[in-house]
Amino acid sequence: MARLLTPRFALLTAADLGYFTAIGIAVYALPLYVTGPLHESEAAAGLAFGAFAVSALLLRPFAGRLADRIGRRPLLVGGAALAALSLALTALATGLPMIIALRLLLGVAEAAFFVAGFAALVDIAPPDRLGEALSLNSLGLYLGLAAGPPLGEVLAQRSFPTAWLTAGALCVAAAVASVFIGETGTPTTTNTKLIHRPAVPPSIALCTSLAAIGGFLAFAALRAQDEGFENTSLPLFLYGATVVVSRVVFAKIPDRLPPLTLGAAALAVIALGMILTALPHTLVAGSVVLGIGVTFSTPAFFAAVFATAAPHQRGAASGTASAFIDIGLGGGPILLGLVANASIPAALVTGGALAAAGCLWTLALRRAH
């Protein structure tokens, strides 16, 4: 069996950990910074928070094509360096327009780093261990997003500039790690397309899973409050902890099952979990079930996506799939939020219905394949 845990794999995972810990700091600090020192409204904080997704979504396909043409390392290093600049300069922001401009710049960085990172991972992972590689590498992302907010709280208590400069320094560390990874792909002069069309069908299935999960992340604390939880963050903690632990314990499973079969099963589990979160007294169980579903959904669908791409098309495939991630995580909460105005349990059930529809779509893809 080919070796997976190589120095390049470790460096890529370390770069992800540094980058996404910085993003986690920003997740915590930005709303407080906008409504505190800048004296803006909660609506302004929401606008600032979501601004990066606009540029990230629009630029991911371009980043994918660029990663195929000039290689992965320039985008990894450049994306991390651009994120460091955006986050560090936030310490100097004195108004909402500058904050929004810096968040849009962070979206450019996100598109470059995220797309190139996935393409590089597929380059360096043994083909027969790609699912395991996706599972283990994603720990950098999940641990970073989990550790970033508590770290941001500690730093912001000292001062907001301390939090922003620390986040910038973590991105600099990610850029340095990316330099030592080296170039993983072979730049091509082939006229690759912005959208890798064969990646679209499995990406649609991935999108349904993330739309459901986005709704859960948005309304889990409110649901816990309605259920009388003293610690309303418990469902979110259980969900995240389940994903992290399960991806370590079951890392080899995605390589032992066909990706679309595993993806359909994962979507069915996510649908069940969403329904459990909506029922009385089963929010804790539902959060754990959701974590189990997400453990397998992302590795399965990314494996299906990259199975459609030749080595010189991996950047385009990554850009296409990650654009659907933005659509799911951004559009899911908006769609389910409309339902939540009437009933949060109804919104969670709607999320389950989206995942169930994705399951049926994936089964149809499997039969066609």
Q: Where are the domains of the chain?
A: 7-181, 197-368
Q: pLDDT band at 168, cuts 50/70/90?
A: very high
Alpha-helical regions (H) of the chain: 7-35, 42-70, 73-90, 96-124, 130-158, 160-181, 200-226, 234-249, 259-278, 283-306, 314-340, 344-368
Nearest-angstrom CA–CA distance, 302 and 366: 15
7-181 and 197-368: same fold?
Answer: yes
- What region, left, alpha or beta, does residue 39 occupy, with left being phi > 0 and alpha being psi -120 to 50 degrees? left
80: Cβ–Cβ under 8 A, 6 or more apart, which residues?
15, 18, 19, 109, 113, 171, 172, 174, 175, 178
> What residue has token string 């450049």?
78
Reply yes or no on whether the pLDDT at 209 is more than 80.
yes
Phi, psi torsion values for 45, nearest 5 degrees: -65, -40
DSSP designation for 38: T
The residue that leads in pLDDT, 122 or 233, is 122
Nearest-angstrom CA–CA distance, 235 and 75: 36
SS3 assignment, position 273: helix
Nearest-angstrom CA–CA distance, 358 and 312: 29
The residue that leads in pLDDT, 244 or 357, is 357
Residue 65 to residues 71, 151, 156, 194, 359, Cα–Cα distance (Å): 10, 35, 38, 6, 30
How high is the pLDDT of residue 190?
65
Q: Copy the structure tokens of residue 237.
A: 């903690």
Reply yes or no on whether the pLDDT at 1 is more than 70.
no
pLDDT in tens, 230-263: 877 788 788 888 888 898 899 888 888 999 999 9
Instruction: Please compute the mean of the pLDDT values over residues 145-167 and round it to a whole number.
Output: 89
Phi, psi torsion values for 15, nearest 5 degrees: -60, -45
Reply yes or no on whether the pLDDT at 189 is more than 70.
no
pLDDT in tens, 23-81: 988 878 888 888 889 888 877 776 787 788 788 888 888 888 888 888 899 999 999 99
Give me the CATH code for the 7-181 domain, please. Answer: 1.20.1250.20
How high is the pLDDT of residue 133?
86
Least confident of 9-23, 277-291, 313-327: 313-327
Nearest-angstrom CA–CA distance, 41 and 58: 27
Residue 108 to residues 70, 143, 318, Cα–Cα distance (Å): 17, 23, 15
* 197-368, CATH topology level: Growth Hormone; Chain: A; (1.20.1250)
How high is the pLDDT of residue 220?
83
Q: What is the mean pLDDT of the chain?
A: 88
> What residue has token string 């649609």?
204
DSSP designation for 252: T
CA-atom Rg of the chain in angstroms: 20
pTM of the prediction? 0.79
